[in-house]
Chains A and B, each alone.
Chain A
Amino acid sequence: MAGEANPRLARTEVRFGERLTAQAELLRSSLTSGPGILWVSLFLLLPLAGIGVISFLTRGTYGEIELPFTIGNYRRIAGFGLLGFDAQYPQIILRSLLLGAGTTVVCLAASFPLAFFIAGQPERRKQLALTLLIIPFWTNLLIRTYAWQILLGPDSFLARVASTLGLAEAGRPLYPSVFAVYLGMLCAYLPFLALPLYTAVEKLDWSIAEAASDLGADKLRVFRHAILPQLVPGMIAGIILVFIPATGQFVVPDLLGGAKTVMLGNAIQQQFGPSRDWPFGSAIAFVGMAVVLVGLYLQSRSAAAREGEGLL
């Protein structure tokens, strides 16, 4: 009763058994999340805004960033060249998306058996298996990718097996090739999918699978209707963790796929580096980001329609 009469009390909220005024709550939340917000603003949002502005500017004769404002950079990416339609940049974007999607598929295919295998191990071996999965990450990606060059080299064990099986010419390396690229990508991104998926498998409610079986579902349908739906959140987390960086990846396709193919990543690097065309590089970076964000948005909308909750 007294609380209703007292306007100061009416505005307070109880948090963990404490009664806080609005000001006190604001002070607390800015103390806890303030540093993070500051960090992200200073080192992510601000530079990103800068890149956004630069993407609408013009390259000077010696690589300076100059006025006037233009949408020419974006037109160039969309394929409007000086000499009519130029498919170079649409192709690069498509190729990168394809690499991202392909890597995601390969990682998914490998993660399912791996996640179930590890989850089925006794507790001590689980730890060992998870450690083994992580160990390659103690080594730099560049070094790991060079290591694949050795493992796939002309006299390597793998090359000999392949030639014995008639899959490759004897005495020749297994790279550059699409196979080598995806092997390298799998090696680079597997844990990002396998670990979230493994966590989801560990948390599986098997009684739901038993219920499905009890209600007449054979093994395949038990998986489809009772197990897979429980794994979807873990799968989506892993897919996002793999797809986004894999789309921007260029070291692996460069070293294992031959240096001929330009991806989003090295296209951006090219513009900021040798070509000294920062406005164009910024535009490519923004387009890449936009494509991924649109994809995530669509995913989260469909998830929201399905489950009543999304990621974004």
Chain B
Amino acid sequence: MVENGVDRSAERPVAVEVDRVFRRFGDFVALDHVSLKIHEGEFFSLLGPSGCGKTTLLRILAGLDLADDGVVRIGGVDASAIPAHRRPVNTVFQSYALFPHMSVRDNVAFGLRMKNVPEKEIATRVEQAIEMVQIGAFVDRKPAQLSGGQKQRVALARALINRPKVLLLDEPLGALDLKLRKELQVELLALQRNVGITFIFVTHDQEEALVLSDRIAVMRAGKIEQLGEAESLYENPKNRFVSQFLGTCNLIEAEVQADEGREMRALTPFGTVYFAKRDRGPAVAPGTRCTLAIRPEKVAVASPGEAGTNKVPATIEELVYIGAETHYILKCPAGKLTAYVMNSVLGPQGLEIGNRVTAHLPSSALLVLED
């Protein structure tokens, strides 16, 4: 979506606007005045741990739950007073919620029947929908006779046949095994590009969100922690939560000591560390404390005894070989660092547990977090 550094999605019309939506169950605040805008044709993900409010937000969009306060606009229209069955949105449920007593065909046709579409048109559109998700072989089966992946496809067809303005997906791939999930992710993405419908996708799987989404809202405890494109969330996490929830991150407590032009000097348990100044992120002045973050793949593992700025002597405490990369846990006098290194040469990678190395933390890869 970013071309020449400009966010193009902002030019598209807004499909869904969530404006200070508040929802509470007893003493538990599920959504704490959440606001966001989702653009037409966007693949938008709500990502967060269970209980963060992502599913509640989805249910409020579907009209299956109502906000205590705030407004939801779908296609510019205040949807608060529109009951679920008249909203131009459809949902793919986590448990699929297929009608157990109906055949696949009748499941798919249900939405059109409810709208009293003529049977002849229903038949054509059911054929199209069935073809779109490749379930032609099972149209006369009952849901109980389908596998998880097949049920998932039926649920998709049943929702998409209504040509909703927005498709809501509540962890639709959560119940499937990893291989099938990856396959369906690819299909889902192609499908979304194909139909051009706005998808709002709820998941707790950060990798899934990164693969699928144009933009992601990371949620915690009823609030949006950070919202943005996959790359910007991963490369520029705002705080500890986002940095740890989206991938892993080495966190280093630091006391800023001096402004040295393009870099800042800070005192950390790992010694004196320089980090590049950036446009984004919180401003830090000398004398303040902050948390520095560095992604494991940006930590370089060098030969022992190398000295210089941002270089820390370390011992390999643990290593995990995972094919494309090797993950190292490096033990330094002040604590542990995780480093991911590409296995770019053929054969043994040459490092073993107990080896002495130098961990290099490039100053340009160090981020300042808000908390």
**Cα–Cα distance between A131 and B114 once the two chains are bound (Å):** 41
**Cα–Cα distance between A205 and B98 once the two chains are bound (Å):** 10
Q: Contact at A211–B142, with CB atoms within 8 Å?
A: no
Max chain B C-beta neighbours (<10 A), residue from A205, A207, A226, A306: A207
The segment out of A40-48, A216-224, A276-284, A285-293 that lies at the interface is A216-224
User: Among residues 83 to 134 in chain B, which have CB atoms less than 8 Å away from a CB atom of chain A?
Assistant: 83-86, 89-91, 93, 95, 97-101, 110-111, 114-115
**Smallest CB separation, A1 vs chain B (Å):** 32
**Smallest CB separation, A229 vs chain B (Å):** 4
Q: Contact at B99–A214, with CB atoms within 8 Å?
A: no
Contact indicator per residue, chain A 224-260, by CB within 8 Å of chain B (1) or not (0): 0110011010000000000000000000000000000
Nearest chain B residue, comparing its CB with the CB of A214: B91
Give the number of residues in A that approach B within 8 Å (Cβ atoms). 22
Nearest chain A residue, comparing its CB with the CB of B142: A308
| Chain B residues touching A, range | 20 to 34
**Smallest CB separation, A309 vs chain B (Å):** 11
Q: Contact at A214–B110, with CB atoms within 8 Å?
A: no
Q: Contact at A210–B64, with CB atoms within 8 Å?
A: yes
Give chain A residues whose Cβ lies under 8 Å from the Cβ of B64: 210, 213-214
Give chain B residues whose Cβ lies under 8 Å from the Cβ of A230: 100-101
**Smallest CB separation, A294 vs chain B (Å):** 26
| B162 adjacent to chain A (CB < 8 Å) | yes
**Cα–Cα distance between A308 and B144 once the two chains are bound (Å):** 11
Max chain B C-beta neighbours (<10 A), residue from A205, A210, A215, A216: A215
A211 contact from B83, B93, B115, B162, Cβ within 8 A: B93
- Given A207-B93, A210-B64, A211-B91, do A216 and B111 touch, yes or no (CB 8 Å)? yes
| B204 adjacent to chain A (CB < 8 Å) | no
**Cα–Cα distance between A163 and B115 once the two chains are bound (Å):** 49
**Smallest CB separation, B109 vs chain A (Å):** 10
Q: Contact at A216–B162, with CB atoms within 8 Å?
A: yes
**Smallest CB separation, B212 vs chain A (Å):** 22
- Given A217-B85, A225-B110, A308-B142, do A212 and B90 touch, yes or no (CB 8 Å)? no
| B165 adjacent to chain A (CB < 8 Å) | no
- Given A207-B93, A207-B95, A221-B114, do A213 and B85 touch, yes or no (CB 8 Å)? yes
| B62 adjacent to chain A (CB < 8 Å) | yes
**Smallest CB separation, B200 vs chain A (Å):** 14
Give chain B residues whose Cβ lies under 8 Å from the Cβ of A226: 99
Q: Contact at A307–B158, with CB atoms within 8 Å?
A: no
**Cα–Cα distance between A218 and B84 once the two chains are bound (Å):** 9
User: In terms of DSSP, what is the predominant structure of the interface of chain A?
Assistant: helix
| A38 adjacent to chain B (CB < 8 Å) | no
Q: Contact at B84–A213, with CB atoms within 8 Å?
A: yes
Give chain A residues whose Cβ lies under 8 Å from the Cβ of B83: 213
**Cα–Cα distance between A40 and B277 once the two chains are bound (Å):** 89
Nearest chain A residue, comparing its CB with the CB of B64: A210
Contact indicator per residue, chain A 37-74, by CB within 8 Å of chain B (1) or not (0): 00000000000000000000000000000000000000
User: Among residues 78 to 136 in chain A, which have CB atoms less than 8 Å away from a CB atom of chain B?
Assistant: none
Give chain B residues whose Cβ lies under 8 Å from the Cβ of A213: 63-64, 83-85
Give chain B residues whose Cβ lies under 8 Å from the Cβ of A215: 85, 90, 110-111, 114, 158-159, 162
Q: Contact at A210–B114, with CB atoms within 8 Å?
A: no
Contact indicator per residue, chain A 181-216, by CB within 8 Å of chain B (1) or not (0): 000000000000000000000000101101111111
**Smallest CB separation, A264 vs chain B (Å):** 35
Among all A-B residue pairs, the 5 with the closest Cβ atoms: A216-B114, A211-B97, A215-B111, A207-B97, A229-B101
Contacts beyond the supplied A213-B63, A217-B114: 19 A-B pairs with Cβ under 8 Å: A205-B97, A207-B95, A208-B98, A208-B99, A211-B93, A212-B114, A214-B62, A214-B63, A214-B85, A214-B159, A215-B110, A215-B111, A216-B85, A216-B86, A225-B99, A229-B99, A230-B100, A232-B101, A307-B101
Q: List 6 A-B contacts (CB under 8 A).
A: A207-B93, A210-B91, A215-B114, A216-B114, A229-B100, A232-B101
